[in-house]
Amino acid sequence: MYGKGAARKGGKTQYTTIKVRLEPTAEQAELFEKTFGCCRYIWNQMLADQQRFYAETDAHFIPTPAKYKKEAPFLKEVDNQALIQEHNKLSQAFRVFFKNPESFGYPHFKRKKNDRDSFTACNHVFESGPTIYLTKNGIRMTKAGIVRARFHRRPQNGWDLKRITVEKTRAGKYYCCILYAYAAEEPEPVVPAPETTVGLNYSVSHFYAADDGSTADPPRWMKQSQEKLVRLQRRLSRMQPGSQNYREAVRKYRLLHEHIANQRLDFVHKESRRIANAWEAVCVRGDDLGDIARKLVYGNALESGYGMFRECLRYKLERQGKPLIVVDRYAPTARTCSACGLVRDAVGLKEDLWTCPKCGAAHRREVNAAKNIKAQGLARYFGSQERRVSA
Ligand SMILES: [Zn+2]
């Protein structure tokens, strides 16, 4: 309780989600399809009315779903909660748009072709019990009843089920994201020391290289899946669109695409968990990863995973009171000698090994960069701490 990193009781609410694969019956799947369609329909109706009112009166107003039920009686067949959530989502989309129109676009009309099939429903707890709850091997929903689900983990005691989002992937699989709220205990802040801090440098071939010379080395099957995807892509480009074979190949392509996304997510979660538990502080560079990805002609399965990895690290560290220290993305971490501090004009991406012309230290490019990231991160962390104290 009083040890380093022990939790302090705090009133902060935190949220977490559990994602499960759903196995609906044919009737339940049909109800889901209807609900997806109704959600899109009501969103588009509300948006059209908002635009009309705005043009006529200059006032922002979104009618509630109840208004539409007379003209569209099919809306009554689906969970009313899902329709109310569309109203909330549209209101929220306008709120962020009005506040910050440069970053958030004007809400758009939804099309089956472009927008993912999904609906959200909130849990309401009545005297008779909650409207949404888990059973041994399923989730009880308002209209669908108990839908079979595959759980890889269960909620902990004291977690409050807030809402669920049911979605269908392009390959036709159903998933449910279950959002839970719980009272978080505020962790004791951990002050990093050089021996308990790690510096990580993004690496195209290894995912990352650490300052101690270790690398993440993503599992080989990820690379194999990626190669398979490239082959499928090539085959698709040679086929006649619309043919039976083409449709079958598209289906395979989507399935594999989803499979890779899952593999990547799994790898990112495990790797960030391992790092967050093993170290007390982590230094990374604030690289614009989109930029790096655009520069690579042939994508690597993990290129987009590193940004996700950093975000996972951030919250996994934060929950233990540990800092993620982000070093300026323009810092010359790759061409600085970590032994003597000499900054070279350039170190090419092909120069995996180089020797410092000043002090003669031999460097592995990626590990040397990780060492610099760690040193700069720690200097930055303690520099900002001092400023905070003197301010
Ligand atoms: Zn040197």
Q: How far is the CA of 335 from the centre of ligand 1 (A)?
A: 10
Q: How far is the CA of 103 from the centre of ligand 1 (A)?
A: 43
Q: How far is the CA of 349 from the centre of ligand 1 (A)?
A: 19
**Cα end-to-end span (Å), the chain:** 32
Q: Are strands 207-210 and 186-187 parallel, antiparallel or unpaired?
A: unpaired
pLDDT for 337: 94
Rounded to 5, what percent of the chain is helix, strand, coil?
A: 40, 20, 35
Q: How far is the CA of 368 from the centre of ligand 1 (A)?
A: 11
Burial of 327 (0-12, 13-18, 19+ CB in 10 A): buried
Domain membership of residue 120 as a residue range: 13-183
CA distances from 192 to 106, 242, 276, 315, 326 (A): 43, 59, 13, 17, 14
Q: How far is the CA of 356 from the centre of ligand 1 (A)?
A: 5
- Do 297 and 356 share a domain, yes or no? yes
- Do 205 and 118 share a domain, yes or no? no
Q: How far is the CA of 372 from the centre of ligand 1 (A)?
A: 12
Q: Which helix (H) or strand (E) holds 29?
A: helix 26-57
Q: How far is the CA of 341 from the centre of ligand 1 (A)?
A: 6
- 238 assigned to some structural domain: no
- Do 124 and 210 share a domain, yes or no? no
- 316 assigned to some structural domain: yes
- 339 assigned to some structural domain: yes
Q: How far is the CA of 358 from the centre of ligand 1 (A)?
A: 5
- Do 205 and 348 share a domain, yes or no? yes
Q: How far is the CA of 194 from the centre of ligand 1 (A)?
A: 20
Q: How far is the CA of 15 from the centre of ligand 1 (A)?
A: 47
The C-alpha R_g of the chain, in whole angstroms, comes to: 26
Q: Which helix (H) or strand (E) holds 175?
A: strand 174-183
Q: How far is the CA of 354 from the centre of ligand 1 (A)?
A: 10
**Total structural domains within the chain:** 2
Among candidates 153, 158, 151, which has minimal Cα distance to 181?
158
Return all residues near 4 (Cβ < 8 A) that are at least 6 apart. Answer: 188, 190
Burial of 55 (0-12, 13-18, 19+ CB in 10 A): exposed
- Strands in 52-173 per DSSP E: 117-122, 125-126, 129-130, 133-135, 138-141, 145-150, 160-168
Q: How far is the CA of 384 from the centre of ligand 1 (A)?
A: 27
pLDDT for 1: 33
- Do 205 and 136 share a domain, yes or no? no
Q: How far is the CA of 279 from the centre of ligand 1 (A)?
A: 27
- 331 assigned to some structural domain: yes
Q: How far is the CA of 310 from the centre of ligand 1 (A)?
A: 30
Q: How far is the CA of 129 from the centre of ligand 1 (A)?
A: 68
- 95 assigned to some structural domain: yes
Return all residues near 118 (Cβ < 8 A) that are at least 6 apart. Answer: 36, 39, 165, 166, 167, 168
- Do 165 and 113 share a domain, yes or no? yes
- Largest Cα span, the chain: 81
Among candidates 196, 220, 193, which has minimal Cα distance to 206?
220
- Do 108 and 159 share a domain, yes or no? yes
CB 254 within 8 A of CB 173: no
pLDDT for 159: 93
Q: How far is the CA of 343 from the centre of ligand 1 (A)?
A: 9
Q: How far is the CA of 360 from the centre of ligand 1 (A)?
A: 6
pLDDT for 13: 86
CB 186 within 8 A of CB 8: yes
- Do 198 and 344 share a domain, yes or no? yes
pLDDT for 385: 67
Q: How far is the CA of 359 from the centre of ligand 1 (A)?
A: 4
Q: How far is the CA of 281 from the centre of ligand 1 (A)?
A: 26
CB 97 within 8 A of CB 106: yes
- 366 assigned to some structural domain: yes
- Do 383 and 334 share a domain, yes or no? yes
Q: How far is the CA of 165 from the centre of ligand 1 (A)?
A: 54
- 274 assigned to some structural domain: yes
Residues of the chain under the 50 pLDDT cut: 1-9, 296-299, 301-302, 391
- Do 162 and 269 share a domain, yes or no? no
Q: How far is the CA of 211 from the centre of ligand 1 (A)?
A: 16
